[in-house]
Structure formats: C-alpha cells, structure tokens
C-alpha cells in the first residue's frame, strides 16, 4: 500500500509563477503540483497537493492529517509568522510534518524571521525554491521507508 502524503500550501501560493518571480521563481502552481505528484510516484508516495487562502481550512486539513496519521509537507505562507491556531493544529501531528519555504525567510524582512510552526515541525527546509518541496518529500520517503 502506498503511503498517502498531504502537501499543504497557505495563502498566495496558488499564484506561483506570476507572484514575485524574482523571489518565488517562475514555476506555476500547476507545475508545483505536477513536480510533487511525479516525485511522489517515484518515491512510492501518494501525494495530494492542496492550497488555501483560508486559515480555518488549513487547520481542518491539519486535523485530517492528525486523525489519519498522514505525513505532511506544509508551506504555511504568511500564516507561518502569526497563526497560533495553525501551530496548535500542527502540534497535534501523529506523523512527520515538514515545514517548507521557497525563499529563505531569514534573508528577507525581519517579520518573516519568526515561525510559529517550526517548533512543532519534524524539520524545516527553506531557500531552495520549488526544490524545498522535493527535499521534503525525499526526506519523508527516507523516514517512512
């Protein structure tokens, strides 16, 4: 049986490819979905990629992952810096949860230097563009395998 993995994306990530390409690269959101699902197949993972601009929906997805013992790769977007509700949902994880960021938050504005998610994540990968997701999926496959 293939291990199901949720790749969860927060606000504005559906605008990849058109949103600040100098920061977030030129890969579209559809391209991100394709790369994650293709790599997942290669690694024996059933990857489902989701995106929301709604904090409540993200919290519900984290509850779904905890209840289903599903590993998570999460790019919380701006929720990273202030969503204590999302942090509390992530802390209920029952499987690995890897926080990812396309850019390196520590090389950007000071308000981006704080993550309320990092302390409850299995690990954080940042600054490798879309490759941050690929590194997270490879890490999960190694951990789960």
Task: List residues forming the annotated binding site for substrate.
Answer: 75, 81, 88, 102-103, 112
Q: Of 29, 101, 106, 133, which one is the catalytic site residue?
A: 101
Q: Is 63 designated active site?
A: no
Angular region, 116: left φ>0, alpha ψ -120 to 50, beta rest: alpha
Binding residues: 75, 81, 88, 102-103, 112
- Paired sense of beta strands 97-101 and 72-75, if any: parallel
Cα–Cα distance between 21 and 98 in angstroms, integer?
24
Q: Of 24, 63, 113, 133, which one is the catalytic site residue?
A: 24
State phi, psi for 26 to the nearest 5 degrees.
-100, -5
Residue 144, both tokens: 């789960």
Please compute, for residue 118, the number of CA atoms within 13 A of its CA located in the half-sphere on the CB side. Answer: 11
Q: Is 113 designated active site?
A: no
The catalytic residue positions are: 24, 101
């Amino acid at each position: 049986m293939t291990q199901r993995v949720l790749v969860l994306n927060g606000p504005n990530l559906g605008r990849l490819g058109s949103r600040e390409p100098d920061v977030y690269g030129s890969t579209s959101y559809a391209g991100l979905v394709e790369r994650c699902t293709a790599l997942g197949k290669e690694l024996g993972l059933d990857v489902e990629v989701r995106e929301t601009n709604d904090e409540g929906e993200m919290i519900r997805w984290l509850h779904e992952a905890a209840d289903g013992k599903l590993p998570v790769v999460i790019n919380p977007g701006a929720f990273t810096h202030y969503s204590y509700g999302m942090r509390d949902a992530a802390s209920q994880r029952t499987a690995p949860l890897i926080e990812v960021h396309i850019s390196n938050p520590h090389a950007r504005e000071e308000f981006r230097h704080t993550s309320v998610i990092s302390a409850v994540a299995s690990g954080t990968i940042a600054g490798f563009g879309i490759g941050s997701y690929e590194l997270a999926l490879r890490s999960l496959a190694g951990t789960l395998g």
